[in-house]
Chains A and B, each alone.
Chain A
Amino acid sequence: MSRAASGRITRRRRMRFADRLLAESVRALEETQPDAAAQPAANLQAVEAADGSSFEARITARAAAHTSADRLRNALRHTQQGAMLTITVGVIVAALAGAGATRAALGLSADRVNIFWAIAGLLGIQTLLLLAWAVAALIGPRVLSTGSLGGLLVALWRRMGQRVCGGRGGCAGAEHQAALRATANVFGRGRIGAWTFSTISHALWTAFNLACLAVMLAMLSGRHYTFAWETTILPSRAYVSLTEVVATLPSAVGFPTPDREQIEGSEWPGATHTDGATQRAWAGLLVGSMVTYGLGPRVALLVISLGFRLRAMRRYRLDTSLPGYARLRPILAPSTETIGVIDEAGDESPHHTTGDSAPSAAARPIGPPAALGLEIERPESGWPLRVGSTALDDLGFVDDRDDRRRVLDDLRNAETEPAVLLIVCSLMTTPDRGIAGFVEQAGRTITRPVRVVLTGGERCRQRDADVAQRGGDWREALARVGVEEENIVELDLDHLTDTSERVLAELVGVVEVVGVASQPARRIEEAFDVIASHADAWRTEPGTSEQAELHRAIARLYQHEMAGWRDLLHVPSDLKKLSAGDVTKALRTSAERMTSLLPDRLKQSPKWLAAGAAAGALGCVAAATLAAPIAITALPAWAGMGAAIAGLWKLAPKSSASKDIDEPAGPPDLGGAVRAAALFAMLLELQGRGEATISRVLDRAVTQDDEQPIESASHVQPYLTELRHRFDMALASEVTS
């Protein structure tokens, strides 16, 4: 804090201790009454009065303006009155104890008083306690506040406060409880607590000593005592020097004390000095000891404690990091401030036609379709774009000003006009006016409409972005520059499938299309029937080669769309030409592709992970051998492939019985084989739908827990029926959503 700032604070009204105590009570109250903690009026008042004052000052100002402030002040007064009452009672009790102790020490019946017994009786315990206090004071306030007589009294008061208030209706209220808590917290802890306890302790002992002295003087005035000392085992010398030591302080203050001769003459029995002067000297020693060793230190410490207590109270600050205060900081001392809107949004429409409205190009002969990539990365399906066997005229990527100029010049100056101008944009990019402006400019160079492909949907989705919303933004931005809805297509060039290639072909107007033009018919029923019949035919648990044959049979059903699912599983074009190592690598790649298509939930399950890996690898083999009608086992490389595929089954957990035996990865069980084949069939049925959709449908169709076990061929058919039912449901929900 700078010097200027601290100066500003001192000029303001001094915060008093009572203000802080009130703030503490408000905090205690709000802790138990969260509803009352809002206090908008008090907040406002505190902020208005603040004018650069400290956060603490604002808290106390708020407390003073709190709706419960008056009741809390009352409660605090009551609490403090209660405390004073307790202390007064304590003082009276202490005085009575002092009087009683003196009477006991001097005795009413006996005339002869053992001087050392009397002094020790009256001063012994309190001197010990005084030493204990001093030690505690040296150690720290924490010890001081719990171990002292004052601490005892405060604990008593707190309990009384609760009991008394609990009984009477008047002070049982939340305010009183809060005041009690605040008072106990402030006066019962830390430096204030320590010095409060000290003050009370010393006050009690002062009262004790005063009463002692008063009673002692009265008794010494009204009765005759003979002071003496006696011993059985100690030498008399010891008593003489002890007396002299004890007498040092009283005699220094001016009390009469016995001289050596008087001391020696007072040993009982056989005392020689029983005269009045000697007795007066002894009485002087007694009274003097009480004053100098008892009352004096206590009075001095009482004054010192009071002083330190006052100082601690002056230095007391609210702990503004307490939650009850910290929550107020943004309200009372906000470190931020709104400036508000300073340059309003105009009513200008966000789009304006670009300046250079060159006249639309004159009619030119129509050339091949052309494509350009606007602020995109090279798509994974390759660039320049191809549709079937037709390569589109490549205008390149447009990333900056020079690219834009070049492409616009090319478009204007070419001898032919592209049949279709395809602009590929990325859903990863936020559409802006610059992009829209360029699309418009490009559109003006030709007479035919511009068509836009929005790619990168999958990657956008991976970024947790809302792809639908982003697509909407693009359509909106493009609509402003006159690109019509039907000329915009979301199509992921990173993951081209049969379906999306068909759409692309339609978009660029290439009629010669790969595969079948219409949606292929469902074959999942057939595929599942194939699985069931194969499973029926297996006599023992199916080996890898039997499974490979099954996968090939399924793949044959989907032979027409093979290009699509080959891509999906990353099957190399000719497996037979690869080396053995590369074959294993290719199998592994397909296995990884298949497992990556599994929904997260199934990836957690070793059983399904293994089934997925096997389905991928077996699918790869199936794709590679689809043309050849020979048995898979007859392939020259089969031995290596079979082993590689068998290795993938290692992922599956072994049956519980053989858990501890480290058996080599044998052929999978029937259930595993059926699951893998079913996954493969569902994948082929779903191809062309986009990877996210595939995962989603698989997620809905496949249950992981509680499925019926597949232990014999008779279990296969019901399992597949159930699975197909769920698969249909999942597909249906995909269509409706």
Chain B
Amino acid sequence: MNDSPLRIAVVGHTNTGKTSLLRTVMRDVSFGEVSDHPAVTRHVEGAAVVLGSDGGSGRRVEWYDTPGLEDSISLLDLLETMRAGRRVEGIDLIQRFLDKPESHDRFAQEAKALRQVLTSDVALYIIDARDRVLGKHRDELSILAYCARPIVPVLNFVAAEDARTKEWREQLSRAAMHAVAEFDTVAFDAASEQRLLEKMRTLLDSHGELLTELIEDRRDERARLIAATGNVIAELLVDAASHVRTAPTENRRERDAALDAFRKVVVEREQACIAALLELHRFRADDCDASALPIEDGRWGVDLFSPAAMRQFGIQATGGAAAGAMVGLTLDVMLAGLSLGTGTLIGAAAGAMLGVGRSHGRQMIKRARGMTEVHCDNATLALLAARQVTLAAALLRRGHASVTPMHLADAPAKQVITDSHGLVSHLDAARLFPGWSKLSGASGPGSPADPRRQSLVEELAEHITAIIRNAADQVGRLSHP
């Protein structure tokens, strides 16, 4: 078994996304500096993936970001002058070049990259697939070939409309490079990351085992991430569904104040969920990049309790939900024609049979006292679910190098809406136990400690995980037709 770390040099023309690749592979939005300028990275910077940090082997895969190759044409000229028609092996030529003063002066950037390639096991040659294939690219490949290291060309920005993927593949196969990987650092796709690693494995026998471990590690990591995401969203839904507040039936002002307070608490809870998702997916909320998410300033552009939000997601508002102050809420109003005595009795009797006696009895008593209970309505819960699922799917598809805003379609896939409505039907149990809600001001039967709550969360999380996976795949199919 080869215990030494695997070293990967990431090279390429300037501004093709070398640092971006590292960011995305490391899931680290703060690695290096990324911007649409030439020669942003002028140094060699490394980061390592430590395998099995969870009590595993602790072996390392080291990735090195290098300055861009800018003047390959002149450099190849220089190398050929140095060769002067004699038969010199490429690697000796490179060594000799690195000893020359030019390597610290005119070609300092190129020399840094080449030096790193020489100390690495493999070089990833990053290509902006939107660029035309030019002489300078061919010369870069020639120079890299002198280094006598396996090279995996990586096509970046393949999700772009004007990507010339085919043209590049043709050119690369002409240069005898057939293990070409496609890896978009902005529109992230877990499957293409796996394929990139597999391509590297085919070229690196000595590190095959290590790469297999890395491939599995990445797969597990993603599965864990999706599971945790499902759990975060399930917690939100249970909290929102079980949350109940009472408001006086008659006093309009007090009632509206209570409705506002209710909405505020739920909206804040949604914010907390967004923050948790960002943290989980390692996009920082205070990062300037966060503004590039589908949400503005860490929140969705449209308030949860507005008809516009429902329209945006194509969710049908139920009943009175569309009317003014009641948007997104249901009020349990007193049953007409039932006196206090019969109401309470019927409630208690029905409750006793259903095993939820306290809940119903309590409602009856509150109604009789002139209070109404406020809940989130089903449409709002579906909206909550759909929004978070959409966000989660988008986060799963977002490369950590993205600096431009993410464009979400106006409405998410129909399937997400249908599935979200389906989720709401699982929340009926939560509605009976206001105490399950962890939102402030909650009181009533049930407690957040109720094991049944946890079981419900787990059940929901499983459903949500499946929905997110589908939704993320959908986005994937759209960007890779």
Contact = CB atoms under 8 A, between A and B. Distances in A.
Interface of A: 1-2, 4-6, 8-9, 31-32, 34, 52-55, 57, 142, 145-146, 158, 162, 177, 180-181, 183-185, 188-189, 193, 320-323, 326-327, 329-330, 333-346, 348, 350, 352, 354-355, 375, 377, 399-404, 428-434, 437-438, 459, 463-466, 469-470, 473, 477
A473 B37 contact: yes
Given A321-B227, A400-B73, A432-B71, A343 B115 contact: yes
19 contacts: A1-B52, A1-B56, A2-B56, A54-B54, A57-B55, A188-B449, A322-B228, A327-B228, A338-B48, A340-B45, A343-B116, A352-B106, A377-B132, A399-B134, A400-B134, A401-B139, A404-B135, A430-B38, A473-B38
Nearest to A189: B451
Nearest to A402: B135
Contacts of B276: 323, 327
B25 to A, nearest CB: 9
A16 B262 CA distance: 42
**Shortest Cβ-Cβ A-B pairs, 6 listed:** A400-B135, A339-B46, A345-B42, A54-B55, A326-B228, A343-B44
Contact of A55 (B53, B112, B162): B53
Interface string B82-124: 0000000000000000000000111011001001100000000
Contacts of B42: 345, 350
A345 B42 CA distance: 5
Nearest to A182: B449
Interface stretch (B62-70, B252-260, B315-323, B466-474): B62-70
A193 B134 CA distance: 68
Given A432-B39, A433-B70, 9 more contacts: A321-B228, A326-B225, A336-B47, A340-B45, A400-B73, A432-B14, A434-B74, A437-B74, A473-B37
B72 interface: yes
Given A323-B231, A433-B70, A434-B136, A333 B44 contact: no
A375 B55 contact: no
A189 B454 contact: yes
B130 A432 contact: no
A190 B104 CA distance: 66
Interface in B133-156: 134-136, 138-139
A337 B38 contact: no
B68 to A, nearest CB: 7
A321 B36 contact: no
Interface in B26-48: 26-28, 31, 36-39, 42-48
A1 B36 CA distance: 41
Nearest to A146: B452
A377 B70 CA distance: 20
Given A32-B438, A184-B451, A434-B72, A339 B62 contact: yes
B58 interface: yes
A473 B47 CA distance: 29
Nearest to B162: A463
Interface of B: 13-15, 26-28, 31, 36-39, 42-58, 60, 62, 64, 67-68, 70-74, 76-78, 104-106, 108-109, 112, 115-116, 130-132, 134-136, 138-139, 160, 162, 217, 221, 224-225, 227-228, 231-232, 235, 272, 276, 279-280, 282, 404, 438, 447-452, 454-455
A9 B56 CA distance: 10
Nearest to A403: B135
Nearest to A4: B57
Given A326-B224, A339-B46, A348 B451 contact: no
B127 to A, nearest CB: 13
A569 to B, nearest CB: 25
Nearest to A405: B77
Contacts, number: 211
B70 A334 contact: no
A276 B232 CA distance: 73
Contacts of B62: 339
B228 A52 contact: no
A36 to B, nearest CB: 14
Contacts of B280: 323, 326-327
A339 B449 contact: no
B136 A340 contact: no
Contact of A189 (B136, B447, B455): B455
Contacts of B109: 350, 433
A402 B131 CA distance: 20
Given A181-B449, A399-B134, A346 B108 contact: yes
B355 to A, nearest CB: 11
Contacts of B224: 320-321, 326, 329
A284 to B, nearest CB: 44
Contacts of B134: 375, 399-400
Contacts of B116: 343
B219 to A, nearest CB: 13
A470 B73 CA distance: 23
Contacts of B56: 1-2, 5
A142 B452 CA distance: 10
Nearest to B140: A434
Given A333-B54, A342-B45, A34 B404 contact: no
B104 to A, nearest CB: 7
A335 B76 CA distance: 39
A31 B56 CA distance: 29
Given A5-B57, A52-B55, A401 B76 contact: yes
A336 B112 CA distance: 24
A399 B136 CA distance: 8
Nearest to A151: B451
B438 to A, nearest CB: 6
A344 B48 contact: no
Contacts of A432: 13-14, 38-39, 68, 70-71, 136
A53 B225 CA distance: 21
Given A323-B231, A430-B15, A53 B55 contact: yes
A190 to B, nearest CB: 9
Contacts of B26: 336
B429 to A, nearest CB: 13
Contacts of B70: 432-434
- Give the interface centre of A34, A146, A185, A377 by most chain B CB atoms within 10 Å: A185
A184 B15 CA distance: 55
Contacts of B108: 346, 348
A404 B73 contact: yes
A426 to B, nearest CB: 9
B54 A323 contact: no
A437 B73 CA distance: 10
Nearest to A375: B134
Contacts of A54: 54-55
Nearest to A338: B47
A591 to B, nearest CB: 24
Given A5-B56, A333-B54, A473-B37, A341 B44 contact: yes
B411 to A, nearest CB: 15
Contact of B105 (A4, A348, A377, A434): A348
Nearest to A334: B53
A374 B228 CA distance: 52
B217 A335 contact: yes
Contacts of A158: 447, 449-450
Contacts of A355: 74, 78, 106
B52 A5 contact: yes
Nearest to A377: B132
A185 B106 CA distance: 66
B333 to A, nearest CB: 30
Contacts of B27: 336
Given A339-B45, A343-B43, A354-B74, A375 B54 contact: no
Contacts of A466: 36
Contact of B55 (A9, A327, A334, A430): A9
A1 to B, nearest CB: 6
Contacts of A185: 449, 451, 454
A402 B139 CA distance: 12
Contacts of B72: 434
